[in-house]
Structure 1
């Protein structure tokens, strides 16, 4: 009986010891959690969110007031775009392209990093997500401060005092006729290969310098276009990029004008001038097309002039084809055989890329983006026809006025 009692006493002591230890362990865990530093949103994230809020206010103001959009785009936007262009201009490759290529790798790294370092609690996950989102918001801020307000300023036709009204088939024919004559004239100084494609007679960098010189001339005439010593960059993955039907893109977050070099040579100077227009704050696509046309015309180089005239001729001729087939046939017959051969060669080149899923997706994304910015979407590229007709209509009026005087 004594042995049994001793055993019971020891069991009771063990139970009491366990019961005493459990609260002590809980208290230790609570103390450890209390001692551990709580994760907080970094100060940098608050700053970036504050900048994004300011950008949103600017964006709304620009949409409401063209005068404010003009002021901001000309004074603040010019500084931001110029800073980015100079910051990345010395890099021999497209930083924008490299960013897009390595974006999936970066995304995987961030997910793995989050799982290892921030998966201890939902609070940590939330803090990490908000931190990442703050850096993403910087893209929106740079877009607004550097480029986005350009969509809502005074239109180019008003700045140039052009009469942008409805276009008749006769005016389309008149414009196409003039452009065809210029194309023929410039083609006499162009070298063509046996497959009918013309050849750009200098390097990509030399083309950039020639276009900057032409832009300086245009800036002397139209002061709303800021001066900028910039360059265009070839895209390394140009051949697969051609399946998107995109010949060039301005990456606003790096300030770079990126060119698809897989397209035929004659398209490249005009495309480069278009993207350089974006670098200078001309946001709307039809206006960037038209400014590129003015720049190409102002160039001292015959191949750049040839590129500008032929590209805009193709836009106008396409509209003329829809408006009046007989006019279209008449003006097409005026083109030299080398020029029609180049256009036929381009059509054959593009057949490989014409119909594909990637192009459809790219078209949808680009169209949606442009519509969000208040334009008519992808159709806005072709609206350069209205500006070209208005330009030659104004030129004809001025010539007739001088003749009467």
Structure 2
């Protein structure tokens, strides 16, 4: 810690003083010395009242999190009656912004930290006391994110599972079950593909803008939420991410910013992935936290849409999950069913493999997967990132219950 030696110091036996110096010491200096230094404002030597408030809120939220973890019924109630209004408020607050506030927050965070630390070192942290106050302020800000997470989103990881809400009977899935489900999806894909346009590179083309897609998905969610009492609709719509290319290397197609209420989507991926990804993030935005459940809700919302491309997106994304599981269980049966798929959709899947090749083994994806896996485990998702693929079990159970859908 840097120290300075003043010319004179009344009332002090040690002539070595910190620079800047506490106000109580500054007042004892001669006028000539005062011109060379400045006092530390007293407010920098104690924790602001607002920070104490944030600590108190975090303590309450910790208690709420413990109760959520121990009571499914409480989590169900909390997610619908406390978290849902907060999610709706945040979504409405950030919806008018033409950009993702969550993305900008993350991108600007390093710069803000550097500027804040530089200012603290030069102007505020001139004693152990002021340094402790500064650290206390930073911790209170971090705890505010924790509090928003608990109030906004955490109950969705601890409430009733989607199979219970949809009254589905989940059993051990056999290769025959997977084959039956894959055939249903292939039938729907063959029906929808004939209504779409495909580029020479093999990809289908979404026949409208992202804004129009959002409107169609909002209509589909309004219909779904009105017929299911476990989910509350809100005005939130997906926003494109500026750093989509970077997210592609991280294998991230979308992310929900719980602290801003925004659903963010990677627009670097092929069109056919976009509606389903957007619907997945919108499911998070409406309180469906578990990844397999967000996948399933997105699927049900999309196939209930009046739009052919949105339905096609859902069927094809779900077919990829089911087909991969079927290939692992019975490769010959997979090949037989895959051959029944129309040539345009098979070409789209081949085009996707070519597109994805440069992102497949990136170092960023390994780090991202490890972080996401750790996060999911902390939220009582025992299968971690493997939970995304568990939507296959839900889909098989759904088509067993509703084979005509």
State the TM-score, normalized to the length of structure 2.
0.90
Note if 1:389 corresponds to 2:396: yes
Secondary structure of the equivalent of 1:392?
A: helix
Question: Structure 2 stretches of 5 or more lacking a match?
Answer: 1-7, 28-38
Distance 1:338 1:107 in 2: 50
> Which of 315, 318, 324 matches 1:318?
324
User: Secondary structure in 2 aligned to 1:250?
Assistant: strand
Is the contact between residue 68 and residue 75 of structure 2 (CA under 8 Å) also seen in structure 1?
yes
* Partner SS state of residue 132, structure 2: helix
In the alignment, structure 1 residue 66 sits paired with structure 2 residue 72? yes
Unaligned runs of 5+ in 1: 1-20, 400-405
> How many aligned positions are there?
378
State yes or no: 1:137 paired with 2:143: yes
- Equivalent position of 1:374 in the other structure: 380
For the residue of structure 1 that corresponds to 2:252, the secondary structure is: coil
**1:395 Cα offset (Å):** 1.6
Matched, 1:355 2:361: yes
Q: Determine helix, strand or coil for the equivalent of 1:93.
A: coil
| Cα distance in 1 between the residues matched to 2:23 and 2:159 | 60
Q: 1:33 to 1:290 in 2, by over 3 A?
A: same
Moved over 2 A (4+): 21-38
**What SS class does the counterpart of residue 249 from structure 1 fall into?**
strand
Deviations 1:52-94 (A, max 9, x none): 0111111110000000001001011001111110111000111
SS at match of 1:228: coil
Matched, 1:82 2:121: no
Deviation at 1:32, TM superposition (A): 4.0
Task: Using the TM superposition, give the Cα deviation of residue 119 of structure 1 relative to its aligned residue in structure 2, in angstroms.
Answer: 2.6
Which moves more between the two structures, 265-274 or 233-242? 233-242
SS at match of 1:92: coil
Instruction: Give the alignment partner of residue 249 of structure 1, picking from 246, 255, 258.
Output: 255
Output the CA distance in 2 between the equivalents of 1:80 and 1:277.
15
CA deviation vs aligned residue, 1:149-195 (integer Å, no higher than 9, x gap)? 11000001001110111101101000000001001101011110011
| Aligned counterparts of 2:10 and 2:281: Cα–Cα separation in 1 | 70
Aligned-residue offset at 1:229: 1.9
Q: Aligned match of 1:127 in 123, 128, 133?
A: 133
> Paired residue for 1:194?
200
Given the superposition, is the C-alpha separation of residues 154 and 23 from structure 1 closer, same or farther in structure 2, using an over 3 Å criterion? Answer: closer
The answer on 1:286 being equivalent to 2:278 is no
2:297 aligned with 1:305 = no
Could you list the per-position Cα deviations for residues 298-328 of structure 1 after superposition, in whole angstroms to 9, with x for gaps in the alignment?
1000000000001001100000000011210
**1:81–1:22: structure 2 CA closer, same or farther, 3 Å change rule?**
closer
CA 1:114–1:394: 2 relative to 1, 3 Å? same
- For residues 181 and 124 of structure 1, do their structure 2 counterparts lie closer, same or farther at Cα, with a shift above 3 Å needed? same
- The correspondence for 1:344, drawn from 337, 347, 350, is 350
Q: By percentage of residues, which structure has more helix?
A: 1
1:220 aligns with 2:226: yes
TM-score for both structures, normalised by structure 1: 0.90
Residue 330 of structure 1: which of 321, 325, 336 is its match? 336
